[in-house]
A = this chain, B = another copy of it.
Amino acid sequence: MVVVLEKGVTPREKEAVRAFLTDRGFQVREVAGEEETILGAVGSGQVDHREVEMQPGVARVVPITKPYKLASREFKKADSVFSVGPVKIGGNRLVVIAGPCAVESREQILECADIVASAGGVMLRGGAFKPRTSPYSFQGLGEEGLRYMKEAGERYGMPVITEIVAPHQVEIMRDYVDVFQIGARNMQNFELLKVLGAEGRPVMLKRGLSATIEEWLMAAEYLLAHGAEDIILCERGIRTFETYTRNSLDISSIPVVKKLSHLPVFVDPSHATGLRDQVIPVGLAGIVAGADGLIVEVHPDPPRAASDGPQTLYPEQFEKLLRDIEVLSPVVEREVA
């Protein structure tokens, strides 16, 4: 921690700040210039920085250690690479996960799986327990949906990923799911993070609508600290003042997170934009910005989809997306999985 002192700080105040810090386990060294004086406080002390900031004579406090460790590049220099069944996540592979917003029926998810696999997708997504902003909307098929999904995944050789919305669902979902997805609204549902961390299975952690990159990595830290090893971060747009699109994909977050963390980063252009027409340009943008893969919504008949139809690709659009990714991949020195 660095403590910047006020210009007019008195010797007595300075001593009091120093004592306050050593009292809490810090070693303190002074750096005095013509214009400013700072105290560098290092060591294993613990204190809320805002409390130091309120001591007389203190102008400002600057934390210097990152709050996350296990998720940081400093902890692990090399990119995390792991396998989910036959699919390799991270490293030099570009992975496309796709499927409908919600599992609607056995036929629908089988048809979706066929579309995904035929075009070159390698993992199947689909919601069984849907977090809906309205209590009056379709809430998903539940366990029945999970069963259909597993069947579809197995038939087409694809692992399945689906969203979990409450800790107690782990037990029901365990038998059906290869990757647990934590939705944006639950990114800081710490009870869920603890339970999923302990479960040890791969987790896709979506960025919260108003989560800073640091908070996002702290949520990953929760999972890692409780036992998880294989985590996929997923940028899906943040909330800004612009309302034309549902959210604003924070394209810079991709190179930033790749620098700060060893964890793979995906992009969800469907939720980021909310509009089918923008899914391809924004998804491709994510790839060239350095993402390790995409997760997108596709449906045989989007206008008839039970939810999120407007942001769901037609099968032909999905095929085009995959072909475009193939063309772009050399620029980012990757291969399509």
By the criterion CB–CB under 8 Å, are B38 and A2 in contact? Answer: yes
In the bound assembly, the distance between CA atoms of A254 and B277 in angstroms comes to 12
**Residue numbers in B under 8 Å from A214 (CB-CB):** 244
By the criterion CB–CB under 8 Å, are B331 and A210 in contact? Answer: no
**Residue numbers in B under 8 Å from A215 (CB-CB):** 133
Instruction: State whether the Cβ of A174 lies closer than 8 Å to any Cβ in chain B.
Output: no
In the bound assembly, the distance between CA atoms of A103 and B227 in angstroms comes to 28
Instruction: State whether the Cβ of A131 lies closer than 8 Å to any Cβ in chain B.
Output: yes
In the bound assembly, the distance between CA atoms of A101 and B162 in angstroms comes to 36
Instruction: State whether the Cβ of A188 lies closer than 8 Å to any Cβ in chain B.
Output: yes
Instruction: State whether the Cβ of A88 lies closer than 8 Å to any Cβ in chain B.
Output: no
In the bound assembly, the distance between CA atoms of A53 and B218 in angstroms comes to 23
In the bound assembly, the distance between CA atoms of A22 and B79 in angstroms comes to 35
From residue A213, how far is it (CB to closest CB) to chain B in Å?
5
Known contacts A64-B60, A210-B209, A240-B238; A309/B48 CB under 8 A: yes
In the bound assembly, the distance between CA atoms of A277 and B51 in angstroms comes to 12
The segment out of A118-126, A144-152, A267-275 that lies at the interface is A267-275
Known contacts A40-B40, A327-B331; A67/B212 CB under 8 A: no
In the bound assembly, the distance between CA atoms of A307 and B46 in angstroms comes to 12
The segment out of A28-36, A108-116, A153-161 that lies at the interface is A28-36
Instruction: State whether the Cβ of A76 lies closer than 8 Å to any Cβ in chain B.
Output: no
**Residue numbers in B under 8 Å from A11 (CB-CB):** none
Category for how many chain A residues contact B: 35 or more
Instruction: State whether the Cβ of A78 lies closer than 8 Å to any Cβ in chain B.
Output: no
Known contacts A54-B276, A168-B168, A274-B50; A241/B240 CB under 8 A: yes
By the criterion CB–CB under 8 Å, are B225 and A136 in contact? Answer: yes
In the bound assembly, the distance between CA atoms of A167 and B302 in angstroms comes to 34
**Residue numbers in B under 8 Å from A203 (CB-CB):** none
**Residue numbers in B under 8 Å from A192 (CB-CB):** 166
By the criterion CB–CB under 8 Å, are B31 and A40 in contact? Answer: yes
The 0/1 profile, CB within 8 Å of B marked 1, for residues 267-295 of chain A is 00000111111100110111111100000
The 0/1 profile, CB within 8 Å of B marked 1, for residues 160-203 of chain A is 00000111100000000000000001101111111000000000
In the bound assembly, the distance between CA atoms of A35 and B63 in angstroms comes to 13
By the criterion CB–CB under 8 Å, are B310 and A281 in contact? Answer: no
By the criterion CB–CB under 8 Å, are A38 and B54 in contact? Answer: no
Give A residues with C-beta under 8 Å from B. Answer: 2, 4, 6-8, 27, 29, 31-38, 40, 42-44, 48, 50-51, 53-54, 60, 62, 64-65, 67, 74, 131-136, 165-168, 185-186, 188-194, 208-210, 212-215, 218, 221-222, 225-226, 238-245, 248-256, 259, 272-278, 281-282, 284-290, 302-303, 307-311, 324, 327-328, 330-331
Identify 20 new A-B residue pairs, CB closer than 8 A, beyond the known A36-B42, A54-B277: A2-B38, A31-B42, A35-B44, A36-B65, A38-B42, A50-B275, A60-B64, A135-B190, A135-B193, A135-B218, A208-B210, A213-B242, A239-B241, A240-B241, A240-B248, A248-B248, A249-B252, A259-B277, A288-B288, A288-B328
